[in-house]
Amino acid sequence: MSASEQEPKIKYGENAPKLDRAQLQFMKLIEEQNLDRVQKLKRVRRNNILTAGALGLSVVAIYGYSIFSVQQEKFLDDFEEPKKVNTN
């Protein structure tokens, strides 16, 4: 259902003053603008969540890589032969 098919969300009772056509059109315009604003804010929020997730994942990846590289250095150090000291 599009915004043009929806009726105004404000409901008036029997005793409420009658609104002319211009006022009703203005209310519909404001409501459409609010719906557009909400859609834009939802997109921005989704993009912010995706950006935060990507940044968090990159931080964890860099941390994991640094831990892995340190373990590799220690692993390769185990295969090196110790230096022999001459006692002459």
Evaluate if pTM is beyond 0.75. Answer: no
Query: pLDDT tens string for the chain (88 positions)?
Result: 555 566 666 665 556 667 788 888 999 999 999 999 999 999 999 999 999 999 999 999 999 999 888 877 765 555 666 667 777 6
Side-chain-facing half-sphere of 42: CA atoms under 13 Å: 6
| Interatomic CA distance for residues 86 and 5, integer angstroms | 94
Q: What are phi and psi of 84, to 5 degrees?
A: -90, 135
- Nearest to residue 35, comparing CAs of 3, 7, 8? 3
**C-alpha 52: how far from its chain's center?**
6
Side-chain-facing half-sphere of 63: CA atoms under 13 Å: 6
